Amino acid sequence: MPDATVVHDEVVMADGAKMTARDVDVFYGEKQAVDKVSIDVDSHYVTAFIGPSGCGKSTFLRCFNRMNDTIDIARVGGRIELDGKDIYDPKMDVVQLRARVGMVFQKPNPFPKSIYENIAYGPRIHGLASAKADMDEIVERSLTRAGLWNEVKDRLDESGTAMSGGQQQRLCIARAIAVDPEVILMDEPCSALDPIATARIEELIDDLRGNYAIVIVTHNMQQAARVSQRTAFFHLGNLVEYGGTEAIFTNPRADRTRDYITGRFG
Ligand SMILES: Nc1ncnc2c1ncn2[C@@H]1O[C@H](COP(=O)(O)OP(=O)(O)OP(=O)(O)O)[C@@H](O)[C@H]1O
Ligand SMILES: [Mg+2]
């Protein structure tokens, strides 16, 4: 029986959380990867999920926009809500959900299409722009927000896959932003990038903060300390401790958190 999650007062929300998870379990076949995890995600902050490899960070993150639905043997239990609505309700439109809760992956994965089309694709299928001028505006705004417009404005018809890794990742962030999401999930978005490209993504995350609820999985504790205001530490499928980032890093309350932060395992 794992110890109960240590939850710091500052992350207990007075008014409603953007997303809540309650007693979430995830199984792959017989094997349990996430064990009774409950957490609230606030729209005003960047929340970091940290913990050693295999502790269930990616699995749990994927529950927030039902990406685990795409894995045959994955089974999700418990309850996850977006604005108080159960996202696993059979009536939930999953395509719509994934527009509201966007995702950016570890390896940049632009479509093999032009830069323009990478951004326009989502807004088009969601009917967000009727005229060409409206679409042009969405493309420009999304690329501007992602800090990419000046670099690509003269080559919008070039392939998204022909850009540098860091540019591709910003393109993927622009693509997520284009459909006006409320939440952006990022699973180790910098792990394939060099330090300069990483710094640009971290700045971008900071710029986006406040406009979207952002949840980022990272292996890198310095990165969590730099970009997040909330940190959740996972170990062996359990959420061990959740609190303000500074408190988690300077004054953790659970022994397992302290051991991990001080490099005793992981
Ligand atoms: N598609 C899958 N099928 C079967 N088991 C899986 C699958 N994905 C993950 N697992 C298992 O679930 C557990 C949690 O994996 P997960 O990828 O969520 O961990 P993680 O914390 O993101 O690790 P990392 O830091 O290495 O990315 C691991 O034991 C892993 O082997
Ligand atoms: Mg992972």
Q: Please report, rounded to a whole number, the percentage of residues in the chain having pLDDT higher than 90.
A: 93
On the question of pLDDT at 121 being above 80, the answer is: yes
On the question of pLDDT at 32 being above 70, the answer is: yes
At 15 the pLDDT is 73
On the question of pLDDT at 1 being above 70, the answer is: no
Report the distance separating Cα 224 and Cα 242, nearest Å: 13
Report the nearest-CA residue for atom 6 of ligand 1. 28
The answer to whether the beta carbons of residues 148 and 170 sit under 8 Å apart is yes
Assess whether the C-beta atom of 123 lies below 6 angstroms from ligand 1. Answer: no
The answer to whether the beta carbons of residues 148 and 176 sit under 8 Å apart is no
Quick one: which of 144, 155, 13, 26 has its CA closest to 80? 26
Rg (CA), the chain: 18
Pairing of strands 19-28, 31-41: antiparallel
Quick one: which of 126, 9, 24 has its CA closest to 68? 24
Assess whether the C-beta atom of 231 lies below 6 angstroms from ligand 1. Answer: no
Rounded to an integer, the average pLDDT of 237-242 is: 98
Tokens of 41: 């995600």
Residue given tokens 């992602």 in the structure block: 146
Domain chopping of the chain, boundaries: 7-261
At 114 the pLDDT is 98
Report the distance separating Cα 55 and Cα 196, nearest Å: 28
Average pLDDT, the chain: 95
pLDDT single digits (tens) 128-143 = 998 999 999 999 999 9
102, amino acid identity: G
Assess whether the C-beta atom of 75 lies below 6 angstroms from ligand 1. Answer: no
Residue 55 CA, ligand 2 centroid: distance in Å: 8
On the question of pLDDT at 13 being above 80, the answer is: no
CATH number of this structure's domain 7-261, picked from the four choices 3.40.50.300, 3.40.47.10, 3.40.190.10, 3.40.350.10: 3.40.50.300
* Closest listed ligand to the CA of 232: 1
**What are 46's strand-pairing partners?**
214
Assess whether the C-beta atom of 59 lies below 6 angstroms from ligand 1. Answer: yes
**Which among 24, 49, 50, 55 is the best mutation to test ligand 1's pocket, defined by most ligand atoms within 8 Å of the CB?**
55
Rounded to an integer, the average pLDDT of 166-172 is: 96
Q: Please report, rounded to a whole number, the percentage of residues in the chain having pLDDT higher than 70.
A: 98
Assess whether the C-beta atom of 197 lies below 6 angstroms from ligand 1. Answer: no
* Closest listed ligand to the CA of 60: 1
At 254 the pLDDT is 97
Report the distance separating Cα 64 and Cα 266, nearest Å: 25
Across the beta sheet with 230-235, the strand order is 6-7, 238-244, 230-235, 46-50, 213-217, 183-187, 101-104
Residue 50 CA, ligand 2 centroid: distance in Å: 10
At 264 the pLDDT is 85
Residue 228 CA, ligand 1 centroid: distance in Å: 23
At 2 the pLDDT is 60
On the question of pLDDT at 193 being above 80, the answer is: yes
Assess whether the C-beta atom of 239 lies below 6 angstroms from ligand 1. Answer: no
Using a cut of 0.75, tell me whether the model's pTM lies above it. Answer: yes
On the question of pLDDT at 4 being above 70, the answer is: yes
* Closest listed ligand to the CA of 52: 1
**Which among 58, 64, 236, 238 is the best mutation to test ligand 1's pocket, defined by most ligand atoms within 8 Å of the CB?**
58
Rounded to an integer, the average pLDDT of 18-37 is: 97
pLDDT single digits (tens) 57-110 = 999 999 999 999 999 999 999 999 999 999 999 999 999 999 999 999 999 999
